Chain A
């Protein structure tokens, strides 16, 4: 199979993302990258755990003063749901339904953008209400580095998915872009995996004390 081949619903391969050699190689390479990303985020988590609540002044806000359950809960639900909608997008890709795939990707992008908006509001709130900034304490530096790096990944993922949607809007689905869409969705799931650890280790365990 090659990238320019024409397909019907019946001849469309069951795993279009791995039907070409290029697709296979991309798939393997991308998972290697995700293994590296795991190490990157683990080192940021380790730094955060080591520096949590390390503030120079007793009056400064600690984790249990800052975090609030409702905000974290809404953010978690948004990101978790966006993970499911990207699964729907890939389901329609395998059924060769380009329009439905694009619509589900759009829902994913909107949910991701809402998550990002919430994070901006949250950071702004910490800075102005609590004086909790990147340079105010070691706790602040490690918190913003970890959570901000995740937010940066969300922003990058959004731009990635949007560019794919726009660039391929008229092209439709073929074996050239199927691996591209598939990898973007894998990246999006990985972002959710990292968030599961962030809401558990940073927010929930921070509130437990």
Chain B
């Protein structure tokens, strides 16, 4: 289990190591956040700047959104850590059913 190291002979040494590790992880989270802000800015700029074809903007916006969601799920919601097998199954099943629903509605209306 994840907390076994606390039973070792020198808990204070472990504490220092763990603090350092979690500070390191927090740094990654901040980098993730900066990237997300950056992608958001690109998305808003693409809409604000006039003269770009909507057929180019639409897929770009969707791609930027997908990247942001992956960041959020894997970094902020910790899905990149070990032991997230069942959770990955849950959320991707949800996404699959959701995607089929959206696709079905959109094709019914547009075709």
Contact = CB atoms under 8 A, between A and B. Distances in A.
A19 B3 CA distance: 8
Nearest to B30: A84
Interface in A1-50: 1, 8-15, 18-19, 28, 31-32, 34-39, 41-43, 45-47, 49-50
A145 B58 CA distance: 23
- Provide the main secondary structure of the chain A interface: helix
Nearest to A43: B101
A76 interface: yes
B98 A42 contact: yes
A204 B47 contact: yes
Contacts of B102: 42, 45-46, 49
Interface in B8-62: 11-12, 14-15, 18-19, 22, 25-26, 29-30, 33, 36-37, 40, 43-44, 46-48, 54, 57-58, 61-62
A163 interface: no
Contacts of A200: 43, 61-62, 64-65
Contacts, number: 145
Nearest to A13: B3
Interface of B: 1-3, 5-6, 11-12, 14-15, 18-19, 22, 25-26, 29-30, 33, 36-37, 40, 43-44, 46-48, 54, 57-58, 61-62, 64-65, 68-69, 72-73, 76-77, 86-87, 90-91, 93-95, 97-99, 101-102, 104-106, 108-109
Interface of A: 1, 8-15, 18-19, 28, 31-32, 34-39, 41-43, 45-47, 49-50, 69, 72-73, 76-77, 80, 83-84, 87-88, 91, 94-95, 186, 189-190, 192-193, 196-197, 199-201, 204-205, 207-209
